[in-house]
Chains A and B, each alone.
Chain A
C-alpha cells in the first residue's frame, strides 16, 4: 500500500534570540524520530534544503518588528495548515517589546551612529496580532517536553494537552518550599503560567514570569503582596516588564503600578 505523503514541517524565525528553535535541535533523544515522522520542509537554522509550502505544521519563533516581517508572516500563514507560535517573543512580543514603552527613534540613535540605515517599526508585537494562530507555546525559552507534546498532537490531529494553571501548582507538585512565604522573596509564580517545571523556586529564587500570564491572573492581589514585601513601585513595574512585558495582563499590571506611582 503506498504511504501517504509525510507531513511537512516548517520552522520560521522573526525577531528573537533563536533559543526556541534551538530547542528543536536540543531534543537530542527525539530529533531523529521527529525527522522520520515529518519532512522538514523549511528550517534554515538546521538545513539548506527548502521544500515549498504548503506546510502541515509551521512553528514560528520571534516577534514582528519590521514592516517586511509583518508582510512575511501573512505569507507563512497562507502556506500553513496549522501555525503554532513558539516562545515569549512570538506569543507576546518578547523582551524587545520593551521598546513599546519607550521612544523608538531615540533607541535607534542610542544604538546606531547612523540610525537612518535601520528599518524598524515602533512596536514589537505577537504573531497573533497579525494572523490567526492555532496554538501558542509559552516560555523564554519554551519547554522541550511541551514542544514535543505540541508537535505530536498536531501530527495526530488532536489538541495539545498542556496545563494553563499557575507556576504555584507546579511548584507544590515539585515539593518546593514557597520562596515568597518562607523567605519573603518576590515571586511571579501565582500569576504565571506553568510549564517550566517551577525551576526558579527550586533554585531559591522567585519566578520572573518567563512563561507569561496564566489564564486568570490576580495581578492586583500579587502587587499588594509584593509591596508588603518591601518592593518599591518602580521595581514592581520592572518585574512585570521583562520577557512578556507586552502580554495584556502583565502590561496592564505594569501600567497600573506606573499610574499609581505618578498619582499625586
Chain B
C-alpha cells in the first residue's frame, strides 16, 4: 500500500486565503478538500440591529473585487421586502454600473490572474516582459471598467453612490455621453482579448456541469430573471433557498452550497453563457462563433474565452444604456416606512456567479436576520469535483506538476475567497 501527499501552502492569484488537501491511497483519490482559512468576519451577525438602509455599504465590504454585486443584491432584496418598484432610468443605471464591474473584474482575471497559467509565468508582470502589448492593453481595458464605476459610483472600489431605491445622484446625460469614446475605444481591445484568450492552448477536458444562473426574458442576466439550470431548475430569484442549501464542512471557514437532493453545481460565466447565449449582442455572439466557442462550453479552462465574450457584451451593453439614457427626475424611489416585520430576498449576477441575499427587517427598519450566499461558496463543492477528476486523470504526474495543475484548475473558476469568507493552500497527500 502506498500513500502520497503533496502540500501547497498558498494558492496564488486568487482573491483570499485558502488551501487544498488531496489524499491519494494506492493510486486512488480518497479525499479532496478545498480549505478556506480566510478569517471569518461575521457579516451576517453584525448586520443585525443595523438599519436596512446601511446594508448596501456594509455588505460591499465583503468583497473589494465585486462590491457592486453586494450592493445590487442587498438593494433588490430590501426593495422586494418593502414592495418597492424601481424601474426606468434607475434600473438602467444599475445595469450600467454592473457593466463597469464585469469589465473590471473579468479583465483583471483574464490578463492578470489567469493568462499567466497558460503561458507559463508566475504573474502578469513577468508575462509583460514577453507580452508587453497584451498586458498594456489589458490594463487599459481594465481601466475603462474602473472609470465607468468611478463615473457612476464615485470610486471603483466600494462605490458610494448606491442606495436603497436608486442612487444618491443620477449622472447627467452629458456626463454619460462624454464617456462614450472610452467605451468605443475599449471595444476593439475587448475583441482582441477574446482572440488572445481563444489562441491559448487548452487541455482537452470536459466536465458534466449543472450550470446555474439567472435567466431574464429579454436580456443577458445581471439584476433580474429567475434562477434556472440546465437540469430543470426554475424558481423566482428570491426563492433560491427552495432549491439550494448551505452545508458546513470541518475543513473550511466558508459554507458550501449544494442543490438539494442533487449535489454540486456551477455558477459564473460558463453558466450564464450556457443558459443565456441567445441574449448576447450580435457582435458578441458572432465573435463567440468566429473563435469556435460551442453553444455550451464544458471545458473549464475555456472560461477565459467566455469572460472575454462577456466583456465585449458588457461594453456594448454600456454603450446601448448610455445611448438611451434620460436623467430621472428623482435619482431614487423613496422607501415606505417599515411598519411591520417584512422579509425579502434577491439574487444578482456577480462577475463570478449568482449572489443571494435574504433579509428580515423589523418594524422601524432594523435588520433582524441576514443570509448571504457568495458565488465562490456555491462553486466550492464543484471546484472540489473538478479537482477530483483532475487528480484521477493525472496520477502519473510528479508532485510539482500535479500541484501546479491543481492550482490552475482552481483558478479556472476565479474564486473569491474573501467572498466565500478568501487564498488557497494546497496540501496534497498521497498515501
Residues of B within 8 A of A14 (CB): 39
Q: Is the CB of A32 within 8 A of B125?
A: yes
**CB-contact partner of A18 in B64, B124, B126, under 8 A:** B64
Distance A21 CA – B167 CA, assembled complex (angstroms): 27
Tally of A interface residues using CB under 8 Å: 63
Query: Which of A46, A99, A106, A208 touches B123 (beta carbons < 8 Å)?
Result: A46
Indicate whether A31 reaches chain B with its CB closer than 8 angstroms: yes
Given contacts A28-B140, A111-B40, contact A49 B126 (CB under 8 A): yes
Distance of A50 Cα from B135 Cα, bound (Å): 21
A-B contact count (CB 8 A): 185
- Any B CB within 8 A of the CB of A223: no
Q: In chain A between 18 and 59, which residues have their CB closer than 8 angstroms to a CB of chain B?
A: 18-23, 25-26, 28-29, 31-32, 35, 40, 43-49
In the bound complex, residues from chain B placing their C-beta under 8 Å from that of A141 are 64, 155, 157-158
Q: Of the 9-residue stretches A114-122, A156-164, A256-264, which lies at the interface with chain B?
A: A114-122
CB of A180, distance to nearest CB on chain B (Å): 15
Binds A, one of B44-52, B209-217, B227-235, B341-349: B44-52
- Which residues from chain A contact B418 at a C-beta distance below 8 Å? 16-18
Report which of B12, B126, B168 forms a contact with A203, defined as CB distance below 8 A: B168
- Expressed in whole angstroms, the Cα–Cα distance for A203 and B155 within the complex equals 11
Q: Is the CB of B248 within 8 A of A113?
A: yes
Check A228 for interface membership: any CB of B closer than 8 A: no
Min CB distance, A60 to chain B, in Å?
Answer: 14
> Known interface pairs A29-B143, A45-B13. Does A19 touch B46 (Cβ–Cβ under 8 Å)?
no
Task: Contact check, B15 vs A18: say whether CB atoms are below 8 A apart.
Answer: yes
Interface size class of B (residues with CB under 8 A): 35 or more
Name the residue in B10, B45, B248, B253 with the highest tally of chain A Cβ atoms < 10 Å from its Cβ. Answer: B45
Task: In the complex, identify which listed stretch (A73-81, A126-134, A212-220, A235-243) lies at the interface while the others stay far away.
Answer: A235-243
Residues from chain A with a CB closer than 8 A to the CB of B163 are 205
Residues of chain B within 8 A (CB-CB) of A99 are 42, 45-46
Query: Whole-angstrom distance from the CB of B258 to the nearest CB of chain A?
Result: 14
Asked whether A117 and B160 contact (CB < 8 A) given A16-B418, A46-B13, the answer is no
Chain B hits for A98, CB < 8 A: 46
Cβ-neighbour of A140 out of B16, B61, B139 (below 8 A): B61
Residue from A31, A65, A106, A204 within 8 A of B39 (CB atoms): A65
Measured CB to CB, the closest approach of chain A to B100, in angstroms, equals 13
- The answer on a CB contact under 8 Å between A47 and B122 is yes
Asked if B40 contacts A118 (CB within 8 A), the reply is yes
Query: Which residues from chain A contact B38 at a C-beta distance below 8 Å?
Result: 15
Q: Is B390 on the interface with A (CB-CB < 8 A)?
A: no
- A-B contacts, 8 of them at CB < 8 A, read A17-B67, A32-B135, A46-B13, A95-B58, A102-B46, A203-B160, A208-B160, A242-B58
The 8 closest A-B pairs by CB, nearest first: A19-B64, A47-B123, A49-B122, A107-B45, A48-B12, A98-B46, A28-B143, A28-B139
> Hey, which bits of chain B sit against chain A, CB under 8 A?
10, 12-17, 38-46, 48, 50-51, 54, 57-58, 61-65, 67, 108, 112-113, 116, 122-126, 128, 135-136, 139-140, 142-143, 146, 154-158, 160-161, 163, 167-169, 248, 250, 252-253, 255, 407, 416, 418, 422-423
Further 13 A-B residue pairs, CB within 8 A, beyond A111-B44, A199-B155: A15-B41, A17-B62, A40-B125, A46-B125, A47-B122, A48-B13, A48-B116, A107-B42, A108-B40, A112-B40, A117-B252, A118-B40, A199-B154
